[in-house]
Amino acid sequence: MERATECGCFATYGSLPLAVSSHIAKDLHVFPLTHEQTIRAAATCTGVGLHSGAPVSLRILPAPAGTGIVFHRTDLDGFQIEASGRNVARVSYATSLMKKGVLISTTEHLLSAFTGVGIDNAIVELDNLELPILDGSARPFVEMIQKAGIRRQRKERTYLRIVRDIELREGDKFIAVYPADAYSVSYSINFPHPLIGKQSFCVRLTNGSYLKEIAPARTFGFLHEADAMRQQGLIRGASMENAIVLNRDEVLNPPLRFPDEFVRHKVLDLIGDLALIGKQILGSVVADRAGHAMHTALVSRILRDPSYWEETALEDEPAGPALASAASLSV
């Protein structure tokens, strides 16, 4: 089966070979991070957890090269949980990490922001069990990080270059990653709702395109599911200010930030979940009606079997101006 996405990433799955559009390699000149990066100064925000409704303060601090992203529960003597696929706990409507019984929930939007701005190393302190939902997107995190600044570190940044196809299927859900010279994410959804229906979106992880096209996309939920979800201990912090809320035929808190904001948010979530690999991949990710469970299953598969990838540094970037602007890379 062949998938053609709106920005021209072509990927095939099933028994057919992969074909990726030939200009992908140009992207490396737009966002070629050859060295690890951290935040330049501490950045703080407060909010409530989407599912727990619990108030939480969050602080992002610089960390030495090689640290990765490490969460600290300041309410539990600074207990540390690394943002790694090996710490993934239960995953349903959000991605949670757990270590020795200590939970940190809804990590995906902050981790997505870190990938989008190119932060490799940071300490994230929080004083409760769930990250703040803020406006339901990754944009407030991106803005916090940009305001604090980004510092390039001495350590060379390495990538996991995908060398073999990985495809996971569960019913009509599908997720895959194929070898490619740059990191791209292509997502398709199909919700039986007049305002959503079939949507697909593809983004290459160039700096400008993530910030403009993915980071602002908010999470969404359906009013008719809200009571049942609350009874399961979910969305207790949800409001019109932190999620797109739909009833059966309309958005209750318009306007949307994009007509296809829903699928863009799924791309945001997937990028955040894939950050649990610990290194950025060089590969083309294709997802169809997947969710956090399939996203993290892909992370586990990649971490479990090193025959799917090789660790590599980027070659030195050639001199001269960027070969492609962010605007020309995506539709």
Q: Which residues are catalytic?
A: 292
Q: CA-to-CA distance for 5 and 263, rounded, in angstroms? A: 12
Cβ proximity to Zn ion, 85 vs 291, nearer residue: 291
Cβ contact 141:134 at 8 Å: yes
Which amino acid does the sequence have at 324?
Answer: A
Residue 168: DSSP 8-state: E
Q: CA-to-CA distance for 97 and 61, rounded, in angstroms? A: 19
Cβ proximity to Zn ion, 13 vs 262, nearer residue: 262
Min dist. Cβ of residue 80 to Zn ion (A) = 24
> Judged by CB under 5 A, which of 27, 125, 269, 288 binds Zn ion?
269
Q: Which string of b and e fits 303-325 if b means at least 16 CB within 10 Å?
A: beeeebbeeeebeeeeeeeeebe
Pick the piece of the chain touching Zn ion (CB under 5 A) from 47-55, 165-173, 236-244, 263-271.
Answer: 263-271
The 133-172 site mask, x for binding Zn ion (CB under 5 A), equals ----------------------------------------
Q: What are phi and psi of 270, to 5 degrees?
A: -65, -40
Within 171-210, which residues bind Zn ion (CB under 5 A)?
none
Pick the piece of the chain touching Zn ion (CB under 5 A) from 115-123, 190-198, 205-213, 269-277.
Answer: 269-277
Pick the piece of the chain touching Zn ion (CB under 5 A) from 9-17, 217-225, 290-298, 299-307.
Answer: 217-225
Min dist. Cβ of residue 256 to Zn ion (A) = 15
Min dist. Cβ of residue 194 to Zn ion (A) = 22
Within 32-71, which residues bind Zn ion (CB under 5 A)?
none
Cβ atoms within 10 Å, residue 301:
16
Cβ atoms within 10 Å, residue 137:
26
Pick the piece of the chain touching Zn ion (CB under 5 A) from 7-15, 211-219, 222-230, 236-244.
Answer: 211-219
Cβ proximity to Zn ion, 69 vs 244, nearer residue: 244
- Please list, in sequence order, all residues whose beta carbon lies within 8 angstroms of the beta carbon of residue 133, skipping any fewer than 6 positions away: 47, 48, 49, 50, 106, 109, 219, 237, 238, 242, 243
The residue among 84, 86, 87, 105 whose CA lies nearest residue 96 is: 105
Min dist. Cβ of residue 137 to Zn ion (A) = 8
For the record, the structure tokens of 22 come out as 């030939």
Which amino acid does the sequence have at 131?
Answer: L
Cβ proximity to Zn ion, 62 vs 291, nearer residue: 291
Min dist. Cβ of residue 295 to Zn ion (A) = 11
Pick the piece of the chain touching Zn ion (CB under 5 A) from 125-133, 218-226, 256-264, 278-286.
Answer: 218-226
> Judged by CB under 5 A, which of 52, 200, 219, 242 binds Zn ion?
219
Residue 73: DSSP 8-state: E
Cβ proximity to Zn ion, 7 vs 267, nearer residue: 267
Min dist. Cβ of residue 267 to Zn ion (A) = 10
Exposure of 45 in the CB half-sphere (CA atoms within 13 A): 21
Cβ proximity to Zn ion, 30 vs 133, nearer residue: 133
Residues at the contact surface with Zn ion, assessed by CB under 5 A:
219, 269
